[in-house]
Structure 1
Amino acid sequence: MSLFFRPLFEKESSTYTYLLADSDTKEAIIIDAVAETQQRDIGLIEELGLDLKYIIETHVHADHITSSCPLKQKF
């Protein structure tokens, strides 16, 4: 298994979203997705041909709104 890892920064709230995937199977997870950057994240997932399997929130975010629901609806 070869791992793809991409930290994605959202400057307004100074937070990171992480995209991880198996380079062979293209199965992916996204961690702590942010509403303000959901189009960026969707575009990257589609561009890379990834199969988003999991959306993970590691903690409650007081500094931004999650994009978990829109991502779940899309994928």
Structure 2
Amino acid sequence: MAEQSHFEINYTFFLNIAFLVILGIFAWLAFGKKDKGGHHHHHEMADKGAIEIVLKYLAIISYLWLLGGLLVNFFLL
């Protein structure tokens, strides 16, 4: 019978947690802005370039990818 590799908490676990925290802070800074003056900015995305929009969604996808990896590691392996 082959020896199975079990989940171990090592340096990569802590690196993943650190990057998740950093990404969470960046997401909060990007999406958590509240306009205190009551004026809504519906044209914010029109002012941004296409590259910035693509990078924003790539960051969201990579955040979900990391979160999915953690969930798979904890619940399926």
Q: Give the TM-score band, short-chain normalised.
A: under 0.3
Higher helix share: 2
Which structure: larger Rg? 2
Higher strand share: 1
Q: Taking structure 1 as the reference length, what is the TM-score of the superposition?
A: 0.24
